[in-house]
């Protein structure tokens, strides 16, 4: 092997040689057809040689096209330009021969230009398809990351509500024990009172059902289950979250009140994610009121119908409020005014509401309290 040749250059050289051979072969076929049909059609080389040039340049590249062009000009000069079978050209035949040469060169240039443009378009299209695939992959990774981060925030919120959870569980468990003892006592008496025993047993069963519902509610908040698009009644979600946070509110001396529109229409989306948003807003309000001593500590939750297609939820507190210069930053990731917060609750809550086709915003005055509100349209469809 030549020292200047590498294993990678040999296939290239072989490929170029084959292309040039095909280019010469196409010119030869054009020459053969022109000679065969010359007596019948006069000068058929005007058809066959340009066709050979076009085919060579289009299918085998620019260099092959020029090879066919040069071979064609030589063949036409030798076989079809007087004196025949000679490479000489008479003065009076120069215009005819130069016209043919010009047409060949122009055809080769035009085909090469068109082929180059098409190749560029194909490369651009391939690059665009690749970019779209990469973007789709990045969006899918972002969706998974956001979903996992939302689950982490839910778990963090549940950790903050540990005392309330224990209280929620202890109440029905205590009721189960009390009613079970009462049932046993009524049955163990000398004259068993079956009616009272049945009533006590029914109360114990109801308490057990309540405990089961509390546990199911907590599990649904923690798990990373796929979001179902179902009709959600926000009044029910608010009632559940108020019950879950009631013990924490009681310990902090906060009075929670609700003003729920009785004819509130349902929205289509994920109940777990609505639970997360409302629970986060309640948590923020409870902590905001924890340092207030000069006025009643209150947290008011209200639902109403806004316009013809909007449902609005408002969570207002009498807490410390937020300074106006900090208000625009409340929904920035990792920015928080809470001493124990991680700064992701509100950004994730906003992304959830926006995914439902709604809007979440805040209004606040330092030392006066805050109001967090969101709207979602009737039948909003979850897309995250």
User: pLDDT at position 83, please?
Assistant: 72
86 or 208, greater pLDDT: 208
**Which is more confident, 224 or 295?**
295
More confident residue, 42 or 253: 253
Which residues fall within 8 angstroms of residue 74, CB to CB, at 6 or more apart?
87
* pLDDT interval class at 382 (50, 70, 90): very low
- Looking at per-residue pLDDT, the higher value among 180 and 351 belongs to 180
Strand 359-365 relative to strand 369-377: parallel, antiparallel, unpaired? antiparallel
360, β-bridge pairs: 374
Q: What count of Cα atoms within 13 Å lies in the side-chain half-sphere of residue 327?
A: 15
Confidence of residue 384 (pLDDT cuts 50, 70, 90): very low
Among left, alpha and beta (phi > 0; psi -120 to 50; other), residue 299 is beta
The pLDDT of residue 165 is above 80: no
1 contacts: CB under 8 Å, gap ≥ 6 = none
Residue of 162 and 190 predicted with greater confidence: 190
Tell me whether the omega of the peptide bond preceding residue 83 falls within 30 degrees of 0, making it cis: yes
The pLDDT value given to residue 159? 62
* Average pLDDT of the chain to the nearest whole number: 76
Q: Between the ranges 62-66, 195-199, 300-304, 379-383, where is the mean pLDDT highest?
A: 300-304
Q: Is the pTM of this model over 0.85?
A: no
Confidence of residue 304 (pLDDT cuts 50, 70, 90): very high
pLDDT band with cut points at 50, 70 and 90 for residue 265: very high
Could you tell me if residue 360 is left (phi over 0), alpha (psi between -120 and 50 degrees) or otherwise beta? Answer: beta
Confidence (pLDDT) at 380: 44
Contact (Cβ atoms closer than 8 angstroms) between residue 56 and residue 67: yes
Burial category of 296 from C-beta neighbours within 10 Å (exposed 0-12, middle 13-18, buried 19 and up): exposed
């Amino acid at each position: 092997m030549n020292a200047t040749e590498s294993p990678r250059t040999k296939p290239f050289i072989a490929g170029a040689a084959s292309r040039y051979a095909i280019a010469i072969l196409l010119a030869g076929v054009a020459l053969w057809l022109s000679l065969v049909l010359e007596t019948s059609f006069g000068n058929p080389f005007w058809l066959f040689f340009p066709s050979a040039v076009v085919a060579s340049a289009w299918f085998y590249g620019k260099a092959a096209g020029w090879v066919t062009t040069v071979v064609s000009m030589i063949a036409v000069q030798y076989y079809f330009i007087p004196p025949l079978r000679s490479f000489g050209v008479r003065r009076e035949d120069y215009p005819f021969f130069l016209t043919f040469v010009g047409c060949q060169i122009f055809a080769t240039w035009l085909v090469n230009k068109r082929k180059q443009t098409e190749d560029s378009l194909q490369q651009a299209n391939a690059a665009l398809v690749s970019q779209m695939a990469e973007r789709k992959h990045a969006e899918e990774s972002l969706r998974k990351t956001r979903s996992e981060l939302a689950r982490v925030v839910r778990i963090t919120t549940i950790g903050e509500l540990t005392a309330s959870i224990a209280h929620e569980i202890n109440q029905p468990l205590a009721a189960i024990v009390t009613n079970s003892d009462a049932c046993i006592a009524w049955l163990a008496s000398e004259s068993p009172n079956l009616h009272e025993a049945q009533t006590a047993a029914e109360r114990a069963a109801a308490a057990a059902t309540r405990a089961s519902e509390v546990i199911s509610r907590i599990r649904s908040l923690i798990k990373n289950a796929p979001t179902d698009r179902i009709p959600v009644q926000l009044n029910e979600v608010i009632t559940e979250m108020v019950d879950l946070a009631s013990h924490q509110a009681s310990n902090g001396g906060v009075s929670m009140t609700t003003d729920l529109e009785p004819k509130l229409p349902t929205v289509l989306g994920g109940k777990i994610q609505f639970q997360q948003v409302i629970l986060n807003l309640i948590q923020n309000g409870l902590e905001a009121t924890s340092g207030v001593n000069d006025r009643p500590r209150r947290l008011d939750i209200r639902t109403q119908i806004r316009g013809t297609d909007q449902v609005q939820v408002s969570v207002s507190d009498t807490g410390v409020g937020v300074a106006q210069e900090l208000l625009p930053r409340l929904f920035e990731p990792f920015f928080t005014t809470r001493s124990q917060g991680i700064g992701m609750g509100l950004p994730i809550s906003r992304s959830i509401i926006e995914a439902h086709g709604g809007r979440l915003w805040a209004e606040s005055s330092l030392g006066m309290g805050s109001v967090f509100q969101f709207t979602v349209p009737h039948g909003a469809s979850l897309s995250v």
